[in-house]
Structure 1
Amino acid sequence: MASFSHPGAATGTVPEPQTLGFLLLDNFTLISLASAIEPLRMANQLAGRELYRWYIITLDGAPVRASDGMQVTPDASAQSPLRLDWLVVCGGVAPLKSVTPALVSWLQSRSRVLRRIGSVCTGSWALAQAGLLDGYEVSIHWECQAAMQEAYPRAAWSMRLFSIDRDRFTASGGTAPLDMMLNLIGRDHGRELSAAISEMFIYERVRGEEDQQRVPLKHVLGTTQPKLLEIVALMEANIEEPIELDELASYVDVSRRQLERLFQRHLHCSPSRYYLKLRLTRARQLLKQTPLPIIEIASACGFVSTPHFSKCYREYFGTPPREDRGESLKIRRLEPIPSPVTESESLMQYSSASVALNDARGEPTYASVALN
């Protein structure tokens, strides 16, 4: 394995390591945190010196649980006198519950002295609420895209895996922080180092800023159905004011009957059903991730009346929108463990998996796949 010399080797000076603070919000995703930290560890190992150092922080210094139920004890509280160069806000499930006025105020005050500010997964919620993403290109998990565009229109929300825009860096979630950190390390210390880190992690390709989230429909259908892809793109771009099917057909120069056949053959549903699915999926995201009134959500998703929206929503998801909204706003707490109880019984009854599943009940994707 190649070794790496530091920028000050020729002059005999060794630059100070960059210090990062990882601010963990309740229910942060552990995979995103690990994906962001591990490249820094390996950068130091391969360089043979400390290029980066990091601290785990919570707002009050108390332990915090990840979305999988694991509890993490921080190194410091937000009020600790740490001298940070970078701050990374780590979000996860139900980010709105973690974005408090105290957190927003602290982020605003620290932003004045930081070289770089970033986030992984849904940590962008906190930065956006603090006004720290206005005028920047920002990446966030595709599931939160619609809600963020509605709530914070001053930021340029992107479907890229990650975005690095001047002194801001944001990753969508999952393993995307690994790619983002490899790109940042490459900018700081050269591509040879970032490539070597990738090799150590058996990571075949370092994805760049141009890589997009989710598998686009064109990858599913291939390149043999350009008219269908164009029609779906038009649907996705016109959620608030749906386009009539005859008009959609005319845009791509096909007949209404040809349009129907394309959808039935390749997407196994009618075009009107597919369009309705897109609008209801967007509505569910807004319902669960924003405090927007139901009447505004209905309008934003192309429904002319709230009763009609509620009827369609119930028929598609099996529950009325008001009930879904209520479930998403509930704060679930574990019942006190009966006493006396053995440690073994406690662990079995209140496992990390059960905590994570309980917390996931308010998520838009909960129970969305029917199993045999």
Structure 2
Amino acid sequence: MLELDRNLRIQDISGATEFSPFRVGILPVPGFALMSYACTVEPLRAANLLSDSKLYEIIHFSSGGPVPSSGAALIERTSWPGGAEDIDLLLVVAGGDPFAFDDAAILEWLRLLDAQGVRIGGVSGGSVILAMAGLMEGRRMTVHWEHAAALSEIHPDCLIERRLYVMDRDRVTCGGGTAPLDLMHALISSQWGGGFARLVSDWFLHTDVRAAADPQRGTLAERLGSNSPHLVEAVSAMEDHIADPLSLSQLAMVAGVTPRHLNRLFAERLGRSTMAYYRAMRLDVAQRLIKNTPMSIAEVSEATGFVTSSHFSGAYRQNFGVSPRRGRQVE
């Protein structure tokens, strides 16, 4: 049995002289967000540094050459994917448009690792790729909030939770951004204790470690710039009813005010009428679906609550200056 002594040195209280590091495979997908990647691997590197021991071994997988990030960084491959692997955890790190991922060989390899008993996870858009591989059935999961609506449309059976990270048996999913810092804190804490995990987090000035259930976004009041409970209730209802829009009277009932009062609040605090704000919200969701998923125009129209594709196309053009089809081509 291994533990860290007071000097952060590895000792084996069972009497053995050697131990095997916890082997973490990283599969970066071209266009991955560098922030998500760094917050995933750097705590493991720091754990090795602070303990002066190889607690973790990181293996980078790629089916090609160096993998480009969304910025200028390239990640060098240390191993080829494809066969059985002697790893304890594999994390797929993806960003950009994970719905465009179409590497059938990688998807099959992920299934092979699952059959082999490897714990598998996704960071940011990596959770989308796990769903594509059919590995999230019956598992709770999370994904970056930008991809949540599209993933729900394409894989309606996915049990998506809007939180920082989810550990469900042999699956680990994380929203990306800085959330992997919190995930890695939990991982290191479970293996080497909370005291050592705190030292690793402090190494990165990560003094406010968040819980798994913490939200991915600021509170609705913060995003709106208003503490009006009536506005918060109305906008929250809008976000919950993108595909099945509520009427002005229904929104007013939820907010606990008259339709006229609600319109006045929206005009004063948010600069537009209630329903204009609602339509712009639905069109923003539509734009993300158009740019980031293979969904057809008709499917996007239905998913965002427009009665017909022609009505949707007209509203989209009026709001963004281009048709939905052109918007997809421009991207």
> TM-score, normalization: structure 1?
0.83
Q: Is the 8 A contact 1:145 1:157 kept in 2?
A: yes
Match of 1:57 in 2: 61
Match of 2:296 in 1: 293
What is the correspondence of 1:88-107 to structure 2 with a 5 Å cutoff? 88-107=91-110
Shift of the 257–39 alpha-carbon distance from structure 1 to 2, 3 Å rule, reads same
AA of the residue aligned to 2:319: Y
Residue 53 of structure 1 aligns to a residue whose secondary structure is strand
Q: Is the 8 A contact 1:87 1:114 kept in 2?
A: no
Partner residue of 1:260 out of 260, 263, 267: 263
Match of 1:41 in 2: 45
AA of the residue aligned to 1:47: S
Partner residue of 1:320 out of 296, 319, 323: 323
Match of 1:282 in 2: 285
Match of 1:3 in 2: 7
Q: Is the 8 A contact 1:3 1:46 kept in 2?
A: no
Shift of the 2–33 alpha-carbon distance from structure 1 to 2, 3 Å rule, reads farther
Instruction: Flag structure 1 segments of 5+ consecutive residues without an equivalent.
Output: 328-361, 363-372
Percent of residue pairs bearing the same amino acid type: 37
What is the correspondence of 1:71-90 to structure 2 with a 5 Å cutoff? 71-79=74-82, 82-90=85-93
AA of the residue aligned to 2:34: L
C-alpha distance in structure 1 between counterparts of 2:244 and 2:217, whole Å: 25
C-alpha distance in structure 1 between counterparts of 2:313 and 2:284, whole Å: 13
AA of the residue aligned to 2:180: P
C-alpha distance in structure 2 between counterparts of 1:251 and 1:287, whole Å: 30
Q: Which deviates more, 210-219 or 302-311?
A: 210-219
Cα deviation, residue 220, structure 1? 4.4
Partner residue of 1:32 out of 27, 31, 36: 36
C-alpha distance in structure 2 between counterparts of 1:12 and 1:314, whole Å: 71
Match of 2:113 in 1: 110
C-alpha distance in structure 2 between counterparts of 1:68 and 1:114, whole Å: 34
Cα deviation, residue 195, structure 1? 0.6
1:49-93 CA-to-partner distances (Å, cap 9, x unmatched) read 221101111024x22211113332211111366411110111122
Cα deviation, residue 298, structure 1? 0.8
Residues 1:153 and 2:164 are matched in the alignment: no
Cα deviation, residue 98, structure 1? 3.0
Partner residue of 2:133 out of 130, 140, 143: 130
AA of the residue aligned to 2:28: L
Q: Which deviates more, 233-242 or 244-253?
A: 244-253
C-alpha distance in structure 2 between counterparts of 1:53 and 1:309, whole Å: 50
Cα deviation, residue 5, structure 1? 5.5
AA of the residue aligned to 1:64: V
Instruction: Flag structure 2 segments of 5+ consecutive residues without an equivalent.
Output: none
C-alpha distance in structure 1 between counterparts of 2:250 and 2:99, whole Å: 39
Match of 1:359 in 2: none
Consecutive aligned runs of 4 or more in structure 1 exceeding 6 Å deviation: none
Cα deviation, residue 18, structure 1? 0.9
Residue 213 of structure 2 aligns to a residue whose secondary structure is coil
AA of the residue aligned to 1:87: L
Q: Is the 8 A contact 2:230 2:262 kept in 1?
A: no
Cα deviation, residue 314, structure 1? 0.8
Residues 1:191 and 2:194 are matched in the alignment: yes
Match of 1:21 in 2: 25
Name the Cα RMSD after superposition.
2.0
AA of the residue aligned to 1:311: G
Match of 1:226 in 2: 229
C-alpha distance in structure 2 between counterparts of 1:224 and 1:174, whole Å: 27
Residue 265 of structure 1 aligns to a residue whose secondary structure is helix
C-alpha distance in structure 2 between counterparts of 1:274 and 1:152, whole Å: 28
Residues 1:119 and 2:137 are matched in the alignment: no
Match of 1:269 in 2: 272
Residue 137 of structure 2 aligns to a residue whose secondary structure is coil
C-alpha distance in structure 1 between counterparts of 2:113 and 2:320, whole Å: 43
Cα deviation, residue 223, structure 1? 8.1
Shift of the 132–11 alpha-carbon distance from structure 1 to 2, 3 Å rule, reads same
Q: Is the 8 A contact 2:233 2:254 kept in 1?
A: no
C-alpha distance in structure 1 between counterparts of 2:242 and 2:61, whole Å: 40
C-alpha distance in structure 2 between counterparts of 1:203 and 1:27, whole Å: 26
Q: Is the 8 A contact 1:86 1:114 kept in 2?
A: no
C-alpha distance in structure 2 between counterparts of 1:90 and 1:151, whole Å: 20
AA of the residue aligned to 2:208: R
AA of the residue aligned to 1:166: R
Cα deviation, residue 173, structure 1? 1.6
